[in-house]
Amino acid sequence: MNAFLDLRPEVTLAQARAADARIARGEARALEGVPIAHKDVLVTRDWVSTAGSRMLADYRSPFDATVVDRLFQAGMVGLGKLNCDEFAMGSTNENSAYGAVHNPWDLDAVPGGSSGGSAAAVAAGLTPAATGTDTGGSIRQPAAFCGITGIKPTYGRASRYGLIAYASSLDQAGPMARSAKDCALLLSAMCGFDPMDATSLNLAPEDFSAGLDQAFAPNAASSSRPLAGLRIGLPDEFFGAGVAGDVTIAVRAALDTLETLGAQCVRVQLPNTELAIPAYYVIAPAEASSNLSRFDGVRYGHRTANPSDLRDLYRRSRAEGFGAEVKRRILVGAYVLSHGYYDAYYLRAQKVRRLVANDFDRAFEQCDLIAGPVAPTVAWKLGAHQSDPLADYLADIFTLPASLAGLPGLSMPVGFGSGDGSGFGSESGSSPRPVGMQLIGPALQEARLLRVAHQFQQVTNWHLRRPPEPRSVTTG
């Protein structure tokens, strides 16, 4: 699957032996000995940190990212670094300088991006847990495409210190695992105030797993209806003509299940949903063009051979180190921030961002959380969008709004699709590809999303399904 980029068995086994010793002494910590692998945009001392780019080939960080360190301090054992789209820019994991990741459910299909290596490794059982990062949907979309659970917390919940920056006002780390319960345990360890991150929220630690089995309403009439009193908002904009039939069938069936658990579905509107795409693809490239200016061939990262002067050093180092998608976004970002275009593009996009956030504020006056598809389709074939990058951008339409508003979003598996628009279950057809449903909550309501997902997973087994035995593939 090309999911891993760096393995250091001596490091992993040393951590495992230390965990065994603590367990034997009765000193086990919350996640003692549980293996985890990290997306390669989170820096690590013991493994290289490339961000999926030639620009950082063989780069070794002098420190661990805060979320990596916190998981280690909770007792987890690192397995290595996972492939990702270069600098987390992409929706398919085909933009990595080290080759595309293959979806374990269909090795000819994309796993989603940019955390595709993380999603594929968890889905295939190579690791029970992985870290991901989400800028515009890069935890939720690959989790959906690979049939696992992933959650993007509220912006500021998890420290960005040590996260190789793409778009600083959007980037957020989060956990990816098979179940909501596992994600809750991981998120509890990852989150917390970090003085090294100026955007970190100064909140007390929270145990997101504590209330998973509690009924939503304190006076629920029946234990068979634990979600009684929960209002689920269904945005008209998330169920339009652009959503494939197989995705709609699976998501509607999941909503029916939530209703049997006591939830009530209500219609809401998010009228600025379509504007989220152009707003995001102005704001994120603008921030990327600034963040990636540090890679100039001088301080660290790739340096071209035998430059003729300083300008040639900058030009050739960046041309050789960055891939096509990264260059595209840097160019877009530099353009929208340039004199004469800032007001027309960047400032206007920020105003749209506020409109998107206001839509959620109004919707949450009518409901407790919002549900809908993670993506309009199931995973598509590798190479299907390579000549049309806009097709990848459009696939983010349902994940971008929550990112722009800084809200928590969770993806959970709810069925399978064929990729041709017809819905079918686990027994039908060949090479089924998972369908994910997204739950979006008000700020700081991660526990609510995890509780709903956990209750759904108590009465369904989509999150327990395993991909078929892998066959060999030819990697181009």
Q: State the DSSP string of 288-304.
A: HHHHGGG-SSSSSS---
Closest CA to 406 of 266, 276, 296, 267: 276
Closest CA to 327 of 87, 142, 109, 151: 87
Q: Do residues 416 and 433 lie in contact, with contact meaning Cβ atoms separated by under 8 Å?
A: yes
Q: State the DSSP string of 100-151.
A: PPPBTTBTTB---SSSHHHHHHHHTTS-SEEEEEESSSTTHHHHHHHT-EEE
Q: Do residues 39 and 132 lie in contact, with contact meaning Cβ atoms separated by under 8 Å?
A: yes
Q: Which residues contact 309 (CB under 8 A, 6 or more apart)?
A: none
Phi and psi torsions of 395, nearest 5°? -70, -10
Phi and psi torsions of 67, nearest 5°? -65, -35
Catalytic residue among 49, 53, 115, 138: 138
In 295-428, which residue ranges form alpha helices assigned H by DSSP?
A: 310-321, 324-336, 348-363, 389-394, 400-405
129-134/77-82 β-pairing: unpaired
Q: CA–CA separation, 199 vs 443, rounded Å?
A: 15
Active site residue 114: yes
Q: What is the CA radius of gyration of the chain?
A: 21
Q: CA–CA separation, 74 vs 220, rounded Å?
A: 35
Q: CA–CA separation, 363 vs 397, rounded Å?
A: 18
The encoded tokens of residue 430 equal 């060949």
In sequence order, what are the beta bridge partners of 130? Answer: 37, 176
Catalytic residue among 49, 61, 114, 200: 114
* Orientation of helix 276-291 relative to helix 348-363, angle to 10°: 130
Closest CA to 218 of 228, 205, 208: 228
By the 10 Å C-beta count (0-12 exposed, 13-18 middle, 19+ buried), 260 is classed as: exposed
Q: CA–CA separation, 322 vs 294, rounded Å?
A: 13
Closest CA to 85 of 44, 139, 123, 29: 139
Q: CA–CA separation, 386 vs 164, rounded Å?
A: 25
Active-site annotation, residues? 39, 114, 138
